[in-house]
Amino acid sequence: METLCAELIAVGTELLLGSIANTDAQFLSRELAGLGISVERHTAVGDDPQRLREAVEAARARCSILITTGGLGPTFDDLTKQVVCRVFDRPLTLRPEVEETIEGIYRDILHRPMPESDRLQALLPEGAELFPNHAGTAPGFAFCSGGVHVLMLPGPPEECRSVWEHGAREYLRRLSPGVICSRDIMSFGMGESSVEFLLHEKMCRMVNPSLATYAKPSEVCLRATARANTAQEADALLDPVEAEVRAALGDLVYGVDVSGLTELCLQRLKARGLTLACAESCTGGLIAQRITALPGASAVFRGGVVSYWSSVKAGVLGVDPALLETHGAVSAPVAEAMAKGARAITGADLAVSVTGVAGPDSDERGNPVGRVFVALADETGGVYCRHLELGRRSRELIRDEAANHALDLLRRHLDGLPMELTVPELKKG
C-alpha cells in the first residue's frame, strides 16, 4: 500500500524570533501519524514572500501532501495564499459563501461592520475545498495540483485545530483507501530516549505498521499505526508489533489504549471490586486529584489524606511518633506506616502513600531533592515500599513521577506482577 508523505510549512516571523513555538506542527504531525501519513519535513519561514516561495517550490518537488499554517488572515503580512497560488498557478477567486460567513460573524457575534480588509479572506484558490473555521474568521482549504495536495490552515492553534477537525482530516482520510487503526501501547518505568534506544531499529524499519513514541510526564506511549483494507487486517498487522514491544519492555508495558496508569488502576480496582485510599505528603493530593478526575472514581476511591506536617502524619494517619523521630518523615518506615494508616482510617482494601523531597531544597535531615518513598498497603495487611532517587528534576516532575510510582505499585499488585521495577538492559533491537 502506497505511503503518503507530507511536508509542513509554518509561516510567521514570530516563529523564527522564538516568540512562539510551532505547536501547530506538533499537533498536525501527531494527527498525520495517526492517519498513517509520514511527515518528512517541517519548515518555518518568516513573513517573506521570496523565502516562502522557495520553500513551497522545494516542498512541491518532494512530497504528495503540502500543509501550510499561518498567514491566512486579513493583515498585510498574511501572504501565504497569494504566494502558494502563484507557485501552483492557481487563480484566487472570491467565494461568496465565505464572504457571507465572515460578514455574519461581524454582524451577529462581534456586532460591528466587517473591515474591508477581511474580504481578502474570502479569496480562495479556484476549485478549493473549504474547511470551516469555528474558532475564527479565516477558513482553511485544499486543492490538488500536479499530484500534490495542498492544504492551507490558519495559524492560531485553536483555529488550526478547528479547521482540521471540520474537514482537513476527512480530506486526507479520503486519500488513503482502506482503514487506519492504531494501538497505544503504554509503558512506565523507562524514559522516552531509553525506550527509543531499545526499539530504534524496529521503529526505523517499520513503515506499515509504523511505530512512534510519545512521552507523557514520566510515561511513554508507543503508538503503532497500521493501514489496511479492513480492521481485521490492520489488527493482524498490529498484533506482532505489540508482541515485539512487550518482549522488549517486559512488564513495563502496563496496558493498551488506556489514557494512563490512573485509568488502568481504576479499571482494575472496579473489575476486582476493591477500594482504594491514599496518604500523600510531597504529592499534596495529586494521586487523589488524578483518580477523582476520572468518571466512576466514587465506586472505588474512599478518600485521601494530605499529610504534609509530621503532626498530621501522626495525628490523622496514626504514624508512630517514634518512627518519625527515629527515621524522619522521608523514610521507608514512615511511608509504610502512612499507607497502613490510610487503609485503617478509611476501611479501604488498599492504600498507597508517598513521602519525599520535591525540592528545590533538601530537607532538614539532609535527604536530597528527589528522594521519595512510595508504599502500598494491601488487603492482607502486608505492605511494600519502593525507594526512589529521582534526582534534581523540577518539583513538578518529581511530584508527577512519584504519583506514577505509587500507581505503578498498585497496578503491579492488582496484576499479580513482581513489585520491583526491572528495567531491561539497554541493547539496540
Per CB under 6 A, residues contacting ligand ATP are: 10-12, 14-15, 20, 22-25, 69-73, 75, 78, 136, 138, 154-157
The nearest distance, CB 6 to ligand ATP, in angstroms, is 15
The nearest distance, CB 118 to ligand ATP, in angstroms, is 9
The nearest distance, CB 53 to ligand ATP, in angstroms, is 17
Note the helical H segments in 192-260.
Answer: 192-205, 231-249
Q: Which residues of 136-147 are buried (b: 16+ CB within 10 A; e: fewer)?
A: bbbbbbbbbbee
Torsion of the alpha carbons at 235, 240, 243 and 249, rounded to the nearest 10: -110
Query: In the complex, which residue's CB is closest to ligand ATP?
Result: 73
Contact (CB, 8 A) for 257 and 184: yes
CB closer to ligand ATP out of 67 and 335:
67
CB closer to ligand ATP out of 69 and 275:
69
Torsion of the alpha carbons at 298, 415, 429 and 1, rounded to the nearest 10: -60
CB closer to ligand ATP out of 20 and 179:
20
The nearest distance, CB 56 to ligand ATP, in angstroms, is 15
Contact (CB, 8 A) for 7 and 65: yes
Alpha-carbon gap, residue 124 to 11, rounded angstroms: 18
Could you check whether the bond before residue 209 is cis, i.e. omega within 30 degrees of 0?
A: yes
CB closer to ligand ATP out of 36 and 70:
70
CB closer to ligand ATP out of 138 and 377:
138
The nearest distance, CB 19 to ligand ATP, in angstroms, is 8
CB closer to ligand ATP out of 75 and 229:
75
For 259, what's the count of Cα atoms within 13 Å in the CB-facing half-sphere? Answer: 9
The nearest distance, CB 158 to ligand ATP, in angstroms, is 9
Note the helical H segments in 281-394.
Answer: 286-292, 310-315, 321-327, 332-346
